[in-house]
Amino acid sequence: MGVLFDMPSAVYGISFVDITCTSVTKGQSLARNQQRNWETVLQIFGLLAQPIILQKPEEHFCNAEDNFIGSELFKGMGKQHQFVVELLKPDTRFWIFAIGSELTDVLQCDKLRDLFDLVPVIPDLNETIKLKPSVFQTLDSELINIQFFPAPTIK
């Protein structure tokens, strides 16, 4: 997350919900449902601007040996998810992506948090957190499962 994007406006997103971009658009499969969640992300961004994908979701893992507990990413997780990670110490799976816009300052993290909150997702894919309810959570400090950070841009 240190790339400088040649865009007027850009954000990084970090999701604990499986949003793998599989490009599968037909059928009923794990890959199709992962793609559906990614399409939901793009549709929400589309409420603010025409999204430009700067980085497709990349899957990452953190575990106790990575000093994940105590990291900024861990601190941004919902408290319920923090408890499970601390208690059970599972590998924690998350996806990092970047979206840009040709409009200056249109992708504001506060606006995105408001738009994403309580939008339904398809659960039980490859995420390591339990989604109950099966929605993106951005405002309930107990259940946060997607976060946004400003990305450095060339203006």
pLDDT at 113: 95
Nearest of 116, 97, 31 to residue 59 by alpha carbon: 97
Q: What is the pLDDT along the chain (155 residues), one digit of tens a residue?
A: 557 889 999 999 999 999 999 999 999 999 999 999 999 999 999 999 999 999 999 998 776 566 666 666 667 777 776 766 666 556 778 899 999 999 888 899 999 999 999 999 999 999 988 898 999 999 998 899 999 988 888 76
pLDDT at 106: 85
Cα–Cα dist 44/40, whole Å: 6
- Prior bond of 133 cis (ω within 30°): yes
Are the C-beta atoms of residues 51 and 42 closer than 8 Å to each other? yes
Provide the whole-model pTM.
0.86
Are the C-beta atoms of residues 102 and 50 closer than 8 Å to each other? yes
> How many Cα atoms sit within 13 Å of 128 on the Cβ side?
18
pLDDT at 127: 94
Structure tokens at 43: 């549709």
What torsion do the CA atoms of 141, 35, 11, 66 make, to the nearest 10 degrees? 60
- Compute the radius of gyration of the chain from its Cα atoms: 15
pLDDT at 92: 79
